[in-house]
Amino acid sequence: MTRPRIGIISNQHVIDGSYRTHAGGVMNTEAVAEASGGMPLLIPADPRFLSVEELLETFDGFVLTGGRPNVHPSEYGEEETEAHGAFDRARDAITLPLVRACVERGQPFLGICRGFQEVAVAMGSCLHPEIRDLPGRSNHRMPPDGTLEEKFALRHKVTFTDGGVFHHLMGTREVMTNTLHGQGVVRAGKRFVIDGTAPDGTAEAAYIDGAPGFTLAVQWHPEYNAVNDPVSRPLFESFGKAAAAWQTGQRAMPMLKSA
């Protein structure tokens, strides 16, 4: 049997100021292939080229990757401002309905950073354009200087709900993670369950209440060093198992049970 097909949401990128591409980080490919055991395939996230229905029929699971562009604020009922940064409306048009469809079908997905925010918005949550500007919040943005290892270094704790999904998955209530984001969830949608937070209260881990399948999302970047990191590996491994189950016809793999 072939490996489960994992669709990795790509981002638009311009090379040399003129050549447009759909690109994906090698970290995501490595994490899917080596930690999840899946076949990594990039998805050009643009409704001109494919439909959500085609994606659902083609793939066994999806990784909603990070990316510099933010979800457009109109998707959660707010006006666009300069503080909201850059956007990718084509990606919004694919990922938001894809998340909703996967939730209802039980089809697995793993949301990462922007992907975490996409899952949040798709399920009725609201974001703040610059989480560090809120009283009592920390700066979660990527350090502007340093090596790749320094940018992705572990910077703060995430505390999971006692007995919750992530507590069960990780085998501990506290882990250390990197942090490379500007926006953050400020009001959770009804089904968007925040299951882990940073010390300043910022939402860092979540799942969808009542979903029949794997719907985990994290605000940090677990794809970095996923095979060797004790926090990242179980996350990608459990996602890979859910995708493999979907591939074999288990059309609704229940969410991980509480500890």
CA dihedral 213, 66, 165, 244 (to 10 degrees): 40
- Rounded Cα distance, 203 and 197, in Å: 5
Q: What is the pTM of this model?
A: 0.93
Domain coordinates in residue numbering, the chain: 5-247
Per-residue model confidence as pLDDT tens digits over 196-221: 999 999 999 999 999 999 999 999 99
CATH C-level class of 5-247: alpha beta
List the beta bridge partners of residue 39. Answer: 5
Per-residue model confidence as pLDDT tens digits over 125-160: 999 888 777 788 877 787 777 788 888 878 889 999
Check if 80 is active-site.
Answer: no
Residue 44 to residues 7, 19, 62, 90, 95: CA-CA distances in angstroms?
10, 15, 13, 9, 11
Could you tell me the end-to-end alpha-carbon distance of the chain, in angstroms, rounded to an integer?
Answer: 32
**Running DSSP on this structure, what letter comes out for residue 106?**
T
Check if 113 is active-site.
Answer: yes
Q: Given a cut of 80, is residue 31 above it in pLDDT?
A: yes
Q: Given a cut of 60, is residue 252 above it in pLDDT?
A: no
Q: If residue 232 lies in a helix (H) or strand (E), which one and from where to where?
A: helix 232-247
CA dihedral 60, 254, 160, 77 (to 10 degrees): 70
Spot the catalytic one: 72, 75, 84, 113: 113
Spot the catalytic one: 72, 140, 167, 221: 221
